[in-house]
Each structure stands twice: as structure tokens, then as C-alpha cells.
Amino acid sequence: MDIRQLRYFIAIVEEGKISVAAKRLHMSQPPLSQQLKAMEEELGSILVERSGKFLEVTEAGKSLYLNALQITKLMEETKAEVKEVGEGVNGRLSIGVNTFSVSGLPDTLEQFQKQFPKITYRIQQNESAYLLQLVRDRIVELAIIRMPLDLNDFSILHLCNDPFYFITSKEHTSFDTEVTLDEIKHYPLLIPSTEGLGVHYLILEAFSRSKTHPNMVGECSDISLLMDLVASDFAASIVPETLLKRYRGYPINAYRISSKNELNGSVGLIWLKDHSLSKAAQNFIEMIQKV
Amino acid sequence: MDIRQLRYFIAIVEEGKISVAAKRLHMSQPPLSQQLKAMEEELGSILVERSGKFLEVTEAGKSLYLNALQITKLMEETKAEVKEVGEGVNGRLSIGVNTFSVSGLPDTLEQFQKQFPKITYRIQQNESAYLLQLVRDRIVELAIIRMPLDLNDFSILHLCNDPFYFITSKEHTSFDTEVTLDEIKHYPLLIPSTEGLGVHYLILEAFSRSKTHPNMVGECSDISLLMDLVASDFAASIVPETLLKRYRGYPINAYRISSKNELNGSVGLIWLKDHSLSKAAQNFIEMIQKV
DNA sequence: TTCAAGGTGGATATTAGGCAGTTACGTTAT
DNA sequence: ATAACGTAACTGCCTAATATCCACCTTGAA
């Protein structure tokens, strides 16, 4: 049994006459009779009673009719849905974000939502290096991460360069607006994120470049805890500007780290280079590019 | 787009390789590739990404896959259901009954339900003459009615002959077990049902045959009201045995009307002669015949 | 490490067969 | 006599098969 045959049967039931149904289907009457007969043989039961001039739909026929309506409707909906997903109007946008890198994302998402209201989202927060793996494994399509990382097989859309800030509790006001790494090397430092990953690596490398050794207290991957610890003068820290903006008004002092130290990570949107993106993801990239 | 194509696509997605899917579908690989391409063209979107050895289903493809599963499942269920309805295992049994004629029906229905548990019912109560019209209009398939009626285009299965009883309040005990119409002609009579219909007609005709005139008080189509009126000595009445059984224990006296008066209506199951019955109805008739 | 060869998996072209659809005609019931 | 369904023979398209080609990946040897 076939979608086509279901359509035929629907027409027959609704028109009440095979010949009229045939006209509606833009075909001649004999093949319609044949198809009806074929369906009856396949299902092993009479679907319409041909008595005299008018047809009468049997119980089995009524049952088929109702189901046929459902199936054809579902078929139409499916076609429409697949087309929409193909065009990026509908579907699911799977995106990974890094806590340190979400500066303008809410606005962008809101704007995207406005333009493509049917899209649903799956947003995963994680560390940049892990996000890279998620993209590689096709678990997320896009990711906003903090450079530098090994990005050989990825396409990159650079979003922003944000400088790093040295932050301390309110008790320390001994600096201007800018500091060098050398000036802060004695401060007990609690570095965000865990060892071997983006921000962490970036900071240590900058120290290394300036031939200085930080007074490392440890790492903390829980950002709000980190900020609390800094505020309570447990330790100082170094965080990107994006993060600082999110904690505006928090009881800490922030000093921009001198550009001489070349400590600034850039944030980028990445995706797998040699794999086609969903149209939804393409639209998202396009929108971000415009902003 | 076609059920067949949906099956093809399901196989491709589940197997991950076109050639393996082709084996599962007992066909060769080229037509499968072609059909996939055809679907992609029809839907205007890529469904699977062919990169290297492995296929990768796109968002649109995933959407189609999920819908395709639904549609094919619905299709299978439909086939099964229509077959069942055709065999009378499933479906709806539409039956009309007359209040005066339902003697053994509950038992029969219970037994039928046990044998065909999927069948649902539509039971309509009404007067015999109206039921006839309902059967003629194909609103119900079967009806249990009280004869005599004009039954030219109906098939009839005689169910039982039940005699009529003269009923009075408990205050009247002047009779034996049997009475003649002549003996009761002075009693104020309230006849069940309205004029021109089965039982009513039957009773008046019996009086007419025995050249007697009843002392008619009126008619009443509400049976329980009629019984109340009889019990309270408002009037006497004449009712069939079937009805009497249902009101067993009611405070009335009942006297069988003499067979000399030939007053007994037969109850029958009827259906339209020159129209095919649903298998469910056929099964029901068969069961009633056995009992 | 690089290059070549073989194997695997998909796409394309051509061909054959089957089924759906058209036209013409027969049948039946109103 | 007409209207509506069924039957029969024919045509054409669509699907699937066979053969072939192409791309990529793997493997082995220089």
C-alpha cells in the first residue's frame, strides 16, 4: 500500500463516486477502480460496497479513510518540516560556549531567535579544549572558544580580542590603571580554569615570556567562587575583560595588564572545516558576522 | 515522496552505508543512491553528507528519519487495523434496540464482548418503527424490534414470541392467571408507546379482532412512568412478557392474556436485505443464532 | 616519509521489465 | 437511455539491475 493509493481512496470516499473522484485526481476512471481493487486484495477486505449508482463505504473502509487522512497529513507536514530544516528556518542549533567568552552572545541569540523563531537550541557550557573535542565529534556544530588552541581542522571566525585584567580585593589600591606582570608577581595568584587549558595556559605563557614567575596559589574552574575568593582577599587573579564585564559592580579592583606583556586572548567562533554545516548554523554565523 | 522511499531512507540512516542498506533492502546499490538523490531534489535539501567512507545524516535528514519512522509505523498499524475491522475482530457494532424487546440482550452482548474484545458499540434505544428507519438509512446496522411491521426490504431473525400480560395494581385480584380481552374491557387502559407504532397497534388490533372495545385512558411512551401509574391504580395496562421480567418484584398483578385473543408480538433482529453487513454484525447475528 | 597499488563505497549510464494510466468497449442498474 | 463501474489491450514512464567509473583510504615497500 502506497501514499498514492491512500490519496486515491480518500478521494473516492469523499466524492462518493469513483468517476467523480477520478476527475478530482485528474485521471480516468479505470485505473482508480483497479487501484481500489488492488487495495482491497492487499488488505483482504472489501472497502466500499458497489451497489447501484452509489458507493457505500464499509466499516473497514471508514477505518482506512480515517487513517489515510492522518498518514497523508503527516506526510505533508514532514515534507514541510524537512524543507524548513533544510532552509534553516526550523531545526536545532547546537552550540558550545565557554564561560569566559560569552560577552555578546545573549543579544545575538535574541536577535537570531527573532529572525528564526522555530529554531530550538542546545547550548553547552564547557572549557575551550573540551568544546574543541565536542565540535570534532560533531556533538555540537559551533563553539565560541578562547584562543589559542590547536585549530588545524577548524574554520574560525574571530569575534573579539579582549585584554586581561589583574584583579584584587578592594584592600589593594597600590596601582594605577595598568600593571605589568612583573609588578604583580608577588601577589598570590588563583588562576581561572584548570591546568593545560586555554586561559590557564595563556596566562602562564605570558609570565614565561616576560621571564617572571607568578606566585601561584592554584587554579579554580568555578568562576563565581573565584571572584568571591578574590573579593575576600584570599588571592588575586587574572581574568579576561569579558568576564569582568559580567561581574561589574563586584567589590574588587581591576587593573589592566600592560600590553607589553602581550597577554590577551582572542575569542572566536569555530566549526569543523571539512564538514557541511546545517543551514541554521550558517545563518547564525552570518548573523554574527554582521554584528 | 513515497512510502517506499521512506523505507529506503530509514535503511540508509540505520545502516550508515548505502551499499549495506541496499543489501538489507534486497536490492542493488545504484537505485538506492538514485532514490536518495531524488528525495533530496524533491525536498530541496541535502539529507546525508557523503564524505569519505561514512555517511553523515544532516539535520534535515534526522528530521526526515524521525518522521519516516512515524509514518511507516502508522502505515503498518493502519493495515493491521483495517484487516481486523474487515475480519470483524475490531470495529464498531451499531445496533438499535426497543425497550420492549431487550430480554436476553445483555447476556448476548457480554458474550460477544468476550469473544471480540476490541469491538466498540453504539446502542440506540428507540421505538420499533423509528429503528426501522435508522436501519434503512444505514445509521444502525442491526435492530431488535417488535413485530409486526412492514419488513419488505429487511432480513429477519426471529428471536422470541412473547405473550402479553394484563397488569393492574395490587388492589385488583379478581382474576385467575389468565384473562380474555373481553374480561378486561371495562378497566381503564393506559397503553404503552404512542399511536401508530408496534405494540400499540398490536394491542388495538387484538381488541378489534375480538370485537371488543377497550376503555382507553391514553398512551404512555415512558415505561417506568407507565408502571408507576399502574402500581398506583391510576390505570391498568397491557405489556409484553419481556418488559414484565424487567420489572419483576414491582407492586403489580399480572395476568396472561388468553391465547384465544392471539395477542402476542414476536421480537426479531433485522438488517437491510440487499446491503452487505460488516463482519462484526455478521458475527453478532451468528452468535445470537447459536443462543 | 612518500609514493604506488589495491580495495571499498558511491555515482553515472544504459538497459529491461513491470505497473500505472489512457482509450475503447461491455455490463448493469436506475 | 443514461450514468457509472468493470474489463481489455496498449502505451509510456519509472524503477531496478548490470556494467563501469571515480574518489578516498589503506597498506606496503622504497
**Digit-coded pLDDT (tens) for B12-56:** 888 888 888 888 888 888 888 888 888 888 888 888 887 766 788
Grid cell in block for residue A41: 486484495
A154 in Cβ contact with A143 (< 8 Å): no
CATH number (domain holding residue A48) = 1.10.10.10
Grid cell in block for residue B146: 417488535
- Please indicate if any CB of chain A lies within 8 Å of the CB of B276: yes
- Please indicate if any CB of chain A lies within 8 Å of the CB of B78: yes
The tens digit of pLDDT for each residue in B144-194 reads: 888 767 677 888 888 888 788 899 988 877 777 888 888 888 889 998 875
Nucleotides of strand D under 7 angstroms from a protein beta carbon? 3-9, 15-19, 24-25
* Confidence at residue A103, expressed as pLDDT on a 0 to 100 scale: 65
- Please indicate if any CB of chain B lies within 8 Å of the CB of A92: yes
Whether residues B100 and B79 share a domain: the answer is no
CB contact under 8 A, B74 and A67: yes
Cα(B24)–Cα(B36) distance, integer angstroms: 15
Cα(B202)–Cα(B208) distance, integer angstroms: 10
Contacts of B276 in chain A (CB under 8 A): 46, 49, 58
Grid cell in block for residue A121: 537550541
Q: A52: which residues sit within 8 A by CB, 6+ positions away?
A: none
| Phi, psi dihedral angles at B143 (to 5 degrees) | -150, 145
* Confidence at residue A167, expressed as pLDDT on a 0 to 100 scale: 92
- Residue B124 C-alpha, separation from nearest chain A C-alpha, in angstroms: 18
Looking at the DSSP bridge assignments, the partners of residue A215 are: A188
Considering only CB atoms, B86 lies closest to which of A43, A87, A274, namely A43
Considering only CB atoms, A64 lies closest to which of B47, B51, B82, namely B82
Q: B193: which residues sit within 8 A by CB, 6+ positions away?
A: B100, B127, B199, B200, B219, B221
Find the closest chain B residue to A79 by CA distance.
Answer: B43
Q: Domain of A114?
A: 90-158+267-290
Q: Is the CB of A19 under 7 A from strand D?
A: yes
A-B CB pairs within 8 A amount to: 125
Through-space separation of residue A279 CA and nucleotide C6 C1' in angstroms? 38
CB contact under 8 A, B63 and A91: yes
Tell me if the pTM is above 0.85: no
- Domain end position, chosen among A32, A61, A87: A87
Whether residues B271 and B153 share a domain: the answer is yes
Residue to test with chain B: of A56, A74, A82, most B Cβ within 10 A: A82
Considering only CB atoms, B45 lies closest to which of A1, A75, A86, namely A86
CB contact under 8 A, A58 and B276: yes
Considering only CB atoms, A71 lies closest to which of B78, B90, B91, namely B78
Through-space separation of residue A34 CA and nucleotide C19 C1' in angstroms? 11
| Phi, psi dihedral angles at B55 (to 5 degrees) | -90, 155
Whether residues A114 and A249 share a domain: the answer is no
Through-space separation of residue A29 CA and nucleotide C25 C1' in angstroms? 14
What 3-state DSSP class applies to A221?
coil
Q: Is the CB of A86 under 7 A from strand C?
A: no
Q: Is the CB of A30 under 7 A from strand C?
A: yes
Q: What is the DSSP letter of A276?
A: P
- Please indicate if any CB of chain B lies within 8 Å of the CB of A276: yes
B234 in Cβ contact with B113 (< 8 Å): no
Q: B32: which residues sit within 8 A by CB, 6+ positions away?
A: B8, B12, B18, B21, B22, B25
Three-state SS sequence of A124-168: EECCHHHHHHHHHCCCCCEEEEECCCCCCCEEEEEEEEEEEEEEE
Contacts of B3 in chain A (CB under 8 A): 1-3
Through-space separation of residue A79 CA and nucleotide D13 C1' in angstroms? 24
Find the closest chain B residue to A43 by CA distance.
Answer: B83
Whether residues B75 and B8 share a domain: the answer is yes
Whether residues A81 and A107 share a domain: the answer is no
Whether residues B80 and B7 share a domain: the answer is yes
Cα(B70)–Cα(B6) distance, integer angstroms: 10
Q: Is the CB of B38 under 7 A from strand D?
A: yes
Cα B290 to Cα B87, B113, B285, B287, distances in angstroms? 19, 16, 9, 5
Q: Is the CB of B196 under 7 A from strand C?
A: no
A210 in Cβ contact with A261 (< 8 Å): yes
Whether residues A151 and A271 share a domain: the answer is yes
Q: B53: which residues sit within 8 A by CB, 6+ positions away?
A: B17
Length of chain A: 291
B169 in Cβ contact with B205 (< 8 Å): no
Cα(A18)–Cα(A33) distance, integer angstroms: 7
CATH number (domain holding residue A248) = 3.40.190.10
Cα(B92)–Cα(B110) distance, integer angstroms: 15
Find the closest chain A residue to B4 by CA distance.
Answer: A2
Segment (H or E) for A77: helix A59-87
Q: Is the CB of B27 under 7 A from strand D?
A: yes
Whether residues A170 and A241 share a domain: the answer is yes
The tens digit of pLDDT for each residue in B226-272 reads: 899 999 989 999 988 878 888 888 889 999 988 777 777 788 899 98
For chain A, 291 residues long, give each residue's pLDDT as a single digit of tens: 889 899 999 989 988 888 888 888 888 888 898 889 888 888 888 888 887 667 888 888 899 999 999 999 999 999 999 999 988 899 999 999 886 656 678 888 899 999 999 999 999 888 788 888 888 888 899 998 887 666 777 888 888 887 888 999 887 777 778 888 888 888 899 988 755 456 777 788 888 888 888 988 888 878 888 889 999 989 999 988 878 888 888 889 899 988 777 777 778 899 887 777 889 999 999 998 887
Q: Is the CB of B31 under 7 A from strand D?
A: yes
Domain count, chain A: 3
Which residue's C-alpha is at the least distance from the C1' of D26? B53
Contacts of A4 in chain B (CB under 8 A): 2
Whether residues A141 and A276 share a domain: the answer is yes
- Domain end position, chosen among A66, A87, A108: A87
Cα(B19)–Cα(B29) distance, integer angstroms: 5
Whether residues A19 and A107 share a domain: the answer is no
Q: What are the residue ranges of helices labelled H in A172-278?
A: 181-184, 198-209, 223-231, 241-246
Residue to test with chain B: of A59, A81, A87, most B Cβ within 10 A: A59
Cα B16 to Cα A143, B34, B40, B42, distances in angstroms? 26, 16, 17, 22
State chain B's mean pLDDT as an integer.
85
- Domain end position, chosen among A26, A58, A87: A87
What 3-state DSSP class applies to A268?
strand
* Confidence at residue B48, expressed as pLDDT on a 0 to 100 scale: 86
A105-115 vs A279-290: helix crossing angle, rounded to 10: 120
CB contact under 8 A, A138 and B275: no
Place of cell 552505508: B17
Q: Is the CB of B29 under 7 A from strand C?
A: yes
* Confidence at residue A52, expressed as pLDDT on a 0 to 100 scale: 67
CB contact under 8 A, B46 and A79: no
Grid cell in block for residue B256: 396472561
Through-space separation of residue A34 CA and nucleotide D6 C1' in angstroms? 9
DSSP A79-120: HHHHHHHHHTSEEEEEEEE-GGG-TTHHHHHHHHHHH-TEEE
Whether residues B190 and B257 share a domain: the answer is yes
Whether residues A31 and A103 share a domain: the answer is no
Segment (H or E) for A20: helix A18-24
Through-space separation of residue B234 CA and nucleotide C10 C1' in angstroms? 94
Segment (H or E) for B5: helix B3-15
What 3-state DSSP class applies to A57?
strand
Segment (H or E) for A216: strand A215-220
Cα distance from N-terminal residue to C-terminal residue, chain B? 52
Mean pLDDT, rounded, for B278-287: 91
Cα(B47)–Cα(B61) distance, integer angstroms: 4
